[in-house]
Amino acid sequence: MPSTLRRAAVTAAALAGPVGWVTRAAWGLPTALGAHRRRLRPVVAGSPHFYDGKFHNTLETPALAPANTRDGLLRQWHEERHVGLPGAPVPLAHAELPAEAAELAVTWFGHASALLEVDGRRVLVDPVWGFRVSPSPVFGPTRLHEPPIALEELPAVDAVLISHDHYDHLDLPTVRALLTGQSAPFVVPLGIGEHLRKWGVPDERIVELDWDQSTTIGGLTLTCTEARHFSGRYFHRDTTLWASWAITGPRHRVFFGGDTGYHPAFAGIGARLGPFDLTLLPIGAYNDAWHAIHLDPEEAVRAHGDLGGGVLLPIHWATFNLAFHRWAEPVQRLLAAASTRGVPVVVPKPGERIDVLNPPELTDWWTAVGSAEPHGAGDHTQGPGSALLVRAATRLLRIGG
């Protein structure tokens, strides 16, 4: 073989791996990103919370750290991502879901995904069954435990509630499975309906609401309530609304926090729509760099009080490694804060069903799991995927500036 051909063959072989990896990383990317902002603009432009081309929080809310701290944040993403791993397998439960929905019960599937039973109806919130919360099948956070139940095993639900469009709350594979496996409507904040339409969800199964707007389904009133967060599926930020939800039945009331930082509106929500028999509030993925957009455990207890909450169930922890605190830390801090205020807390294993009207005694299952021992930087997911993730984070930080 002539030397020129040999060099070409060697070059092609050397490039085959990286090119193949990039191809796999980008596979399906345009679809996963959701609707373009040009499609979104006519839907969202009438909201009083949408101006200057994007949605805004009521309070001034920096979504990321100031520019002078971003290098440190990127180092954490690259070098400290192992900190939030569990020290042992996360135990799962497999609830026997009753044929008829209960007066008040909840099954937590991990992270922010849960099945609510309220006055004989069922509401599925922020369902994420996917393996990776990312637009790519190759890079991005992966599950720390398997889904405790197959989507096909869920009973028929009356509504699917979505809090916002981040990948760990709005999952394309899960939406596609629910599209064929369920007939319930998707009740979503403004703009997210355009993502769903792009993915094949018909108009008659989409209800889009602004903050303080409501819809009634099966005797339950679902009210879109204010949250303090942001939105975006990579390229453009805050083009769809983020929200929490109040689920009000004839006899019982539930508050679903989704993902939010602390804000004074909790008290107003509690006064107007509460008190709530059950609150599901996020306690994980906190960090100084984004304290305004994520509750820490102590703030979750404070928000629960503002809402007039009865039983508190912590969400947004245990399933994905999204921050730099140790795996078990959120629930440990939560219980310490709750005990000082006498707040009743339930901490189910992923997949466990709780009868909220007759809650079980608190069982500590997380201490045995523990948090992974510290490792040297670079022990996990090195290679092109890790480097690309850091470059993607860099771009996100630039967009956010």
DSSP E strand stretches across 72-209:
104-110, 113-118, 121-125, 159-161, 186-189, 206-209
* Structure-derived torsion over alpha carbons of residues 379, 385, 389, 392, reported in degrees to the nearest 10: 160
Question: How far out from the chain centre does Cα 224 lie?
Answer: 16
71: phi then psi, degrees, rounded to nearest 5 = -60, -40
Neighbours of 288 (CB within 10 A): 10
143: phi then psi, degrees, rounded to nearest 5 = -65, 145
What is the structure's pLDDT at 32?
78
3-class SS of residue 15: helix
pLDDT tens string, the chain, 401 residues long: the values are 555 545 544 444 444 444 343 334 444 457 878 777 777 778 888 999 999 999 999 998 876 654 444 444 444 455 556 778 999 999 999 999 999 999 999 999 999 999 999 999 999 999 999 999 988 777 788 999 999 999 999 999 999 999 999 999 999 999 999 999 999 999 999 999 999 999 999 999 999 999 999 999 999 999 999 999 999 987 788 999 999 999 999 999 999 999 999 999 999 999 999 999 999 999 999 988 889 999 999 999 999 999 999 999 999 999 999 988 999 999 999 999 999 999 999 999 999 999 999 999 999 999 999 988 765 433 333 333 444 444 444 344 333 33
* 223-to-173, 189, 191, 241 alpha-carbon distances in Å: 26, 10, 16, 14
Structure tokens at 50: 């949408």
What is the structure's pLDDT at 384?
35
Q: Which residues contact 158 (CB under 8 A, 6 or more apart)?
A: 121, 122, 123, 184, 217, 218, 220
Domain assignments of the chain as residue spans, ordered by start: 82-369
Q: Kindly calculate the radius of gyration of the chain based on its CA atoms and give it in whole angstroms.
A: 21
For strand 244-248 and strand 220-225, is the pairing parallel, antiparallel, or unpaired?
A: antiparallel
> Using an 8 Å Cβ cutoff, are 243 and 265 in contact?
no
Alpha helical stretches, state H, 165-226: 172-181, 192-198
> Using an 8 Å Cβ cutoff, are 188 and 241 in contact?
no
3-class SS of residue 371: strand
pTM of this structure: 0.86
3-class SS of residue 338: helix
81: phi then psi, degrees, rounded to nearest 5 = -70, -20
Q: Which of 158, 151, 197, 155 is nearest to 177 (CA)?
A: 151
What is the structure's pLDDT at 231?
95
**Amino acid sitting at position 31:** T
CATH for 82-369?
3.60.15.10
What is the structure's pLDDT at 320?
95
> Using an 8 Å Cβ cutoff, are 318 and 110 in contact?
yes
**Amino acid sitting at position 216:** T
